[in-house]
């Protein structure tokens, strides 16, 4: 990878700091494969450089700027993380590397892929859990 493809040091430092804090806040862990974590953080930092916001790097957006104007749903930490504690990028996971799925609605692809993965620290995170009904109604 050339230097041009790397995000700025400033954005990397900002996202590394954010991720550390959010891991602590939610009681989640880094993925056991550090490359997974690093590549997601790089993707987030690229978006900070490009768009000014850490848009989730694991989705496809027809138009990233339009996506941000439309909603902050996929700005990290995204609504799914704040409501269900589910991170499909595997940035915030259990220490065995699995994403938490136990709070996801039935039929959500996370539950279909991983089955029911229980939350080892239910007292932490899910700061927008009260919005789950509203979220489900709009998706």
Q: Which positions touch ligand SF4 (CB under 6 A)?
A: 40, 56, 58, 74, 76-78, 80-81, 87-89, 91-92
58 in active site: yes
Strand (E) positions, the chain?
Answer: none
Q: How far is the CB of 62 from ligand SF4 (least distance, A)?
A: 18
Comparison of 3 and 105: residue with beta carbon closer to ligand SF4: 105
Residue (3 or 49) nearer to ligand SF4, CB: 49
Q: Of the listed 58, 76, 78, 87, which one is catalytic?
A: 58
Nearer to ligand SF4, 6 or 58 (CB): 58
Residue positions annotated with a catalytic role: 58
């Amino acid at each position: 990878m050339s230097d041009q493809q790397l995000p700025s040091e400033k954005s990397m430092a900002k996202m590394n700091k954010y991720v550390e804090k959010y891991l602590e806040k939610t009681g989640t862990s880094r993925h056991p494969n550090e490359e997974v974590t690093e590549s997601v953080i790089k993707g987030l930092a690229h978006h900070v450089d490009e768009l000014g916001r850490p848009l989730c790097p694991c989705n496809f957006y027809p138009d990233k700027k339009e996506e941000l104007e439309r909603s902050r749903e996929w700005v990290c930490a995204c609504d799914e993380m704040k409501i269900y504690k589910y991170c499909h990028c595997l940035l915030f996971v259990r220490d065995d590397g699995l994403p938490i799925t136990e709070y996801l609605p039935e039929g959500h692809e996370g539950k279909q892929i991983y089955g029911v993965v229980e939350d080892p620290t239910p007292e932490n995170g899910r700061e927008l859990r009260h919005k789950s009904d509203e979220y489900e109604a709009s998706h």
